[in-house]
Structures are given as C-alpha cells and as structure tokens.
C-alpha cells in the first residue's frame, strides 16, 4: 500500500470473486512541483491546490475531474474527500459541497474561465468529453491525474464497494487495474470522448471511481 499522505486508511474491494485489495483515498498533503492550476480553462487531470482552514493550515492537492454546468453555472467536479478540505481552490474558486463517504464527489465553483469539458492528456493534447457513459467489464479505459498523468488499463468490475476504514465506505464504484498515486484524487476516468467517473482511491494495483452518470443525475448537471 503506498503512502496516502495525511490519510492512512486501508480498504477492501468487495466483488463476486471476493478479491481483497488494499486501497486508499489519494488526496495529497505534500507540496508538489506541479503546483496549482493557473490557467484560463482548467482541464480534467490538472492539479488543484487548497489549504485547510484547521490548525496547521495544511496544504492539499487533488486533481480536477470534469467541467459541469448546473443551471448554467459552471463547476469543477472532483472527489468528495477533496472538497471536505479547505475553502478556496487557488486560481479556481470556492468549495460548494461534498458527498463523502457512501459516495465520493464534490463541486468547486469554477471562476477560472469558460470552456468545454476536456481532459489533459499530458502530451500537449486534450480530449474533449462529449457525454457520460457506463463502461463494460474488461473494457479499456484511461485516467488523468496530476501525479501519474495519463495512464490506461482495464475495467475490473462495476458497482463495487470499497471500505477505507473508520466507517468510510464508498459504494457503487467502478474498479480498474490502473495504478494511481497521491494527488490523483478527483481525476477523470474516460476513453475517447466518453467520461466514466472521478477517482476516489486506490493503490498500485487497483483504483476506484465514482460513476459520472450518477453524479450528473444527482446534481441535475450536464457536461460543460
């Protein structure tokens, strides 16, 4: 199990095969050379930075997920365990809400600029995300995040439950074999122009994603 910065939680993947794996929410509490996003249009997988309002004013890094619209207001969708920390995200906007545990998603008001929902491919290109979908088991998918950049793998299971310990359980996730690292939390799961989810947690063997369709329905949102 890799170090999870301030969060040191263990988890299990519950599947029909009863596979047991260690997992962890991957908000980063360490400064990063990547830095905070300072650009006119934030892309999925880009770094985001905030500071905890609590004692010590600890810094937190996460990754942007998808740009969404709720009643024509623009937000950045990311992991809920990211938006439970801090107040304002530097160069982006303020936290709006957080949904964690049971689910793992939250919104940041996006004051950084307008533009379509797109993913940073970390090779100088971006991928426009046109719609939300549900992947199939065995399908190739990719994720983008500030620490491990764009990497791809296979879907291991749908509707998975992951237990991060201390009564922090997330249900209904998409499990993949894509390894992830601290700071990747909230980053998008996608393939081509289809978005599938935002990263909740994982390790060097497995990663778990909050399904995008579920979140859009809950917010009454559309992709920007």
Distance CA 144, CA 65 (A): 9
What is d(CA 93, CA 53) in angstroms, rounded to the nearest whole number?
15
Residue in 81, 144, 182, 184 annotated catalytic = 81
Q: Which of 117, 182, 185, 207 is catalytic?
A: 185
Residue 32 known to be catalytic: no
Distance CA 223, CA 118 (A): 10
Q: Is 204 labeled as catalytic in the residue annotation?
A: no
Determine whether 72 is an active site residue. no
d(CA 160, CA 132): 19
State the first-to-last Cα distance of the chain, in angstroms, to the nearest integer. 36
Catalytic residue (choose from 46, 104, 120, 184): 104
Which residues does the annotation mark as catalytic? 81, 104, 185
């Amino acid at each position: 199990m890799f170090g999870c910065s301030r969060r040191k939680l263990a988890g299990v993947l519950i599947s029909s095969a009863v596979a047991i794996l260690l997992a962890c929410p991957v908000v980063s509490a360490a400064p990063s050379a990547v830095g905070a996003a300072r650009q006119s249009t934030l892309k999925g997988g880009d770094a985001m930075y905030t500071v905890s309002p609590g004692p010590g004013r600890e810094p937190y890094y996460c990754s942007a997920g998808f740009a969404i619209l709720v009643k024509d207001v623009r937000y950045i969708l990311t992991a809920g365990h990211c938006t439970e920390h801090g107040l304002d995200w530097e160069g982006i906007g303020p936290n709006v809400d957080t949904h964690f545990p049971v689910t793992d998603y939250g919104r940041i008001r996006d004051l950084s600029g307008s533009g379509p929902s797109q993913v940073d491919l970390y090779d100088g290109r971006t991928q426009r995300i046109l719609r939300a979908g549900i992947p199939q088991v065995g399908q190739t998918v990719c994720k983008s995040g500030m620490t491990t950049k764009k990497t791809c793998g296979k879907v291991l299971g749908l509707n998975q439950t992951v237990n991060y310990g201390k009564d922090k359980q997330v249900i209904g996730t998409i499990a993949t074999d894509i390894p992830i690292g601290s700071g990747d939390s909230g980053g998008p799961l996608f393939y081509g122009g289809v978005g599938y989810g935002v990263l909740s947690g994982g390790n060097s063997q497995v990663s778990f994603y909050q399904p995008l369709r579920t979140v859009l329905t809950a917010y009454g949102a559309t992709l920007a």
